[in-house]
Every structure is written in C-alpha cells, then in structure tokens.
Amino acid sequence: PKTMTTRFFPAYPWDKSSLKSMPVDLQQFKKLDAYALEVNVKNSVEELVKALLKQARTDLEKVRAIWMWICHHIEYDVVGYHNKSQLSSKPRDVLQMGKSICEGYAELFEHMCSLAGIQCKKLSGHAKGHGYKTGQTFTGDSDHAWNAVYLEGRWHLLDSTWGSGSVDDSFTKFTYRYNEFYFLTHPALFINNHFPDNSNWQLLKPTLTLKEFENNMLHNSNFYMLGLLAAHPETPIIQTVNGKASVSVDCRSGTLFMFKLKGTDEHGLMTLKKHGMKLDIYPQKTGSHKLEIFAKPSKAEASDDVYKCVVEYVVECDSVDKAMRFPKALHQPVGPSWFSERQGFLRPSHRKPILHTNDGRCSLTFTLGKDISVLTSLHTDGSSLAENMGRRHVLQIHRGNQIELKVHLPHAGSFVLKIYSKKKSDPGNYDYIFNYLIRCLNTEVKWPAFPQSYSKWLQDYEILEPLSGLLPANRNVQFKLKMPGVAKVLVQAENTHPLTHNRGCWEGTCNTSGCREVFVMVHENANHSFYSHVLKYEVETQ
C-alpha cells in the first residue's frame, strides 16, 4: 500500500467550499444506494462484497455501496459496549451478529474494502461522541475507531458507526438514523469531533494539537447539514461580562433559530439577521448554565420541520444584571427581521429589538404588503394590563399602504408589543408575526388607553383628537376625526352633538357633564335612518 505521502488538505479551518473531501453527487448515487440497501447476504463477507459490487464500477461507487450497506445493517451493540471482554470485532462475527461497537464497524469496513481491492485503514483516537461534556479533556487510551479510504490519489475519512445512527442518553438503546455527514467528510470538519492517535491522519496541514482539539467548539453534524458556517465565540465556555454574554451564528440565508439557557428562552434577546442570528444572554442566576442553540430551515420539508440542536455553550455567570429581566410575554426572536418582511411588514421605522421611551409614548411605522389586516397588543408582567386593555394601549393609523402604531404606556417598566396579522380575505384567526420590547424608566408616566373602537370603525378612519380614551368630567372636549366617505358624524354624551365637515375632517365640541360614557356615531350614507357606534370614550369620575 502507498505510504502517507498523501496530499494534505489546506490549513484548518474549513474553507466553506464543501462538506466533503471530494466532489460527490448524491443524486447519482440514488440507484446504487437503493440497490445496496436491499442486498441481503449474511453467510460470508466475501459473498456480501461480491453481491454489493455487482452495481458498482468506480472505486468511489464500491466504497459507497459498502458504506451504505454497513450503515443500514449493523447496529451499535449497547450491551456489548458495557461488557467488552465478551465481544468479537472480527468481521465474520460482526456480520453474523449484525451488531458491534465502533471497533467492529471499522474492521468490517476495512476488510470489505480490501476484498473490493480498495486501500482502507482502520484509525483510532478520541472522539467527542456519546457522553462528551463541553470543555472536557481527553486522557488515556483512544475511545473510538473509524476509517480512511484511498480514492482518486488521496486519502479520505469516514465513520460508519456515526453514519448508522445514534444511542440514547442512558446508552441503553440504539436507533438507526442514517447520517450522510460522516461519508468522506472534509478533514477540517472531521477534526471537529475526531482526534486520531497519529496526527498525520488528521489529513490537515498544519495539524491540531490535542489541547486545541479539546478547546475547539463542537459543532455537531446538524450544524453543517443546515448550511451554517460559523459560530462565535469559537470557544465553548463563555464568561459573562457585567452579567451579559453574546453569541452569534452565521449562515447562508433564511434559517430560523431558537435557544435554551438552562431549558428556557426567557433570559435572552435574540435577533434574526439575513445571514444568521445574534443573541445576548442575561442569566438571572450566577453559576454555570448550559446554553443550546437550535436551528431549522425556513422553507422546511415537513420531515425537517423541527428545530435541531446545532451548538452548545456553557455560560459562566459571576454577576447578574437585574435591570435586564425580560417580561414573560417576550417571544424570541425580538424585533423585525427578514421573517417579518416576508409576512408583509416592510421598511420598519425601528430596526432594533428594544425601543426606549422617556415620556411613555412611541410610534412605529411600516409599509404593509397587500391585503394585510393587523392586530396588536401590549403585555407586561403583573396584572396591570388585562387582555382587552393590552389592545387598547396601541392605536393603528393607516395612510395608504403605511401603518403607524402609536403606543401609550400605562406606567413605567418593560412591555412587549406583539404584532399579529392575517390576509383580509381570510376568515380565520390572526397569526403571531413578531414583537418588540419597549422600556420606560420614567415613573411619572401614566397614559390612559386609547378609545375603544367597534367593527364599523374602518381602517382609513383616523382620530386626531382626543387620543385619550378617558375624558375629563364637566368639560368641553374638542373632537377632530378623519372619516372620509360618511354622511354624518355625531358625538353622543348627555346630549347629542353633531360634528361639522371641514377640509376632510369632522370637528366639533362636546360637553362631558352628566355622563359616564361618550360615543361617536356615524351615519354611513344619507339614506340610512340609523347610526352605527364607532368609538367609545370613558369619562373620569368626580
């Protein structure tokens, strides 16, 4: 066999060109893969290889057929793992039993390749596999085995144990789950969780030291299979600075993310970017916290429509930033993104996830896509905002395809503005789209809700005054409303006050004495004899 004067792969890290160490067209393997899965020969390894090679011409195809067969017919021996003395890794025994541990997978692979006339080596070393703890060190004998095969003038790496499936946390049950990632993996990605005893078999120039291997981020295969490119920081243990830690992930595009810090997503602020995500974490307890980042493609096939864990950190927190406690209602990610744009909320006036207001008021604008109806609500911890009141602290104003959301906070604190939408033509419910965090530190703030509006209040109507839904008692109050295309507008207090039409606005005054409620009513056209209620104001009690 050729000695290791093989061509090495260029310097680590990964050049992001391909997940494989040679060009592989999986579509072209479809027929071969299907054939290999059906081969059912158990009496001898020689007979099995002979059968598999019937459909394979090139060396690459031969290796592929052997790989496919092993990944789908040999299961990991969880019982044997706990009692290695009884275990044989001889290819013939592995074939007979139909199960083995990594040693047996690698020996069977090597033997089948040699029968097929392909150079193959069994490699051993340390792996960040089952039971690996973030940041741990590796000592003593190697704990895993895999293979290198010689194809088209150079060596390539593969791991049929990890290609075949996975073992549960308690290490008592194996599940077949084919993983394409470990077939001819690019060495710069393979080194992420495989460290060979002989560093030449990293196939990298320069090679990594064991210490570098231990300190490097573990990206599991989902990370690369989902098209993610990098995660920052690049070390698995993060220290908070003044109670805060930041993480980001880069990806090609259109990926959705979520995170869990000690199993919950309450103590962070995640924003979605076109090419990834950014996350600021504010643990509310000191100590060590496990942080998991999950991802899924936004245009997922039904089968892939689950978030998969792509990277794990440990966050070491030595001080807590109490000011960064978020309301329970806050939903991740926060702020606008390509996702809210795709749902028809274009050109947001505020691109950041947090809005700060000193006087307790703020206003956001968007250009709306066609045929969109919007619903908004304001939430905070505690009972100060009941469900129906949460809606009345946000006012929608439509001008053409522009929407303005005016927010008046009932008091100081942290609030969540949630935005829902549906197609106007759809009868169904509104879908949640995105949310903002609004903060106000000014304890003087105390805005009343906006007036209550009814179904006859149309999208192109606008209140100019009074904006407050709570009117002073025994006063003359000035009304000014934009209500195009109606015949008459009245304000009903103790008495009825008609408004007059003036330059596109309905204007007039109304006296609030002697009543608890004031209604605005509209006569939609001159032929109607009845009025529709469109707005309701409360009057302050004496």
* Contact assessment for residue 470 and residue 448, using Cβ atoms and an 8 Å cutoff: yes
* Contact assessment for residue 284 and residue 271, using Cβ atoms and an 8 Å cutoff: no
State how far the Cα of 280 lies from the Cα of 61, in Å rounded to an integer.
47
Which among 233, 237, 282, 292 has a CA at the least distance from the CA of 262? 292
C-alpha distances in Å from residue 436, one per residue of 249, 284, 345, 351, 457: 21, 21, 13, 10, 26
* Contact assessment for residue 367 and residue 402, using Cβ atoms and an 8 Å cutoff: yes
Phi, psi (rounded to 5 degrees) for 451: -60, 155
C-alpha distances in Å from residue 156, one per residue of 14, 37, 101, 108, 122: 15, 23, 22, 17, 12
144 part of the active site: yes
Kind and range of the H or E element at 414? strand 413-423
User: Among the options 72, 73, 111, 144, which is catalytic?
Assistant: 144
Alpha helices in 39-151 (DSSP H): 45-53, 59-73, 78-82, 91-97, 102-115
159 part of the active site: yes
- Strands 413-423 and 462-465, by their bridges, are unpaired
Which among 82, 68, 67 has a CA at the least distance from the CA of 113? 67
The neighbour count for residue 359, using CB atoms within 10 Å, is 12
What residues contact residue 55 under an 8 Å CB cut-off, 6+ apart?
Answer: 31, 32, 35, 36, 61, 65
Instruction: Report CA 420 to chain centroid distance, whole Å.
Output: 19
Which among 129, 215, 152, 119 has a CA at the least distance from the CA of 20? 152
User: Among the options 33, 77, 159, 265, which is catalytic?
Assistant: 159
265 part of the active site: no
Which among 47, 99, 46, 90 has a CA at the least distance from the CA of 70? 99
The neighbour count for residue 286, using CB atoms within 10 Å, is 13
User: Among the options 71, 72, 73, 102, which is catalytic?
Assistant: 102
- Strands 194-196 and 183-185, by their bridges, are unpaired
State how far the Cα of 332 lies from the Cα of 375, in Å rounded to an integer.
19
Would you please indicate which residues are annotated as catalytic (active-site) residues?
102, 144, 159
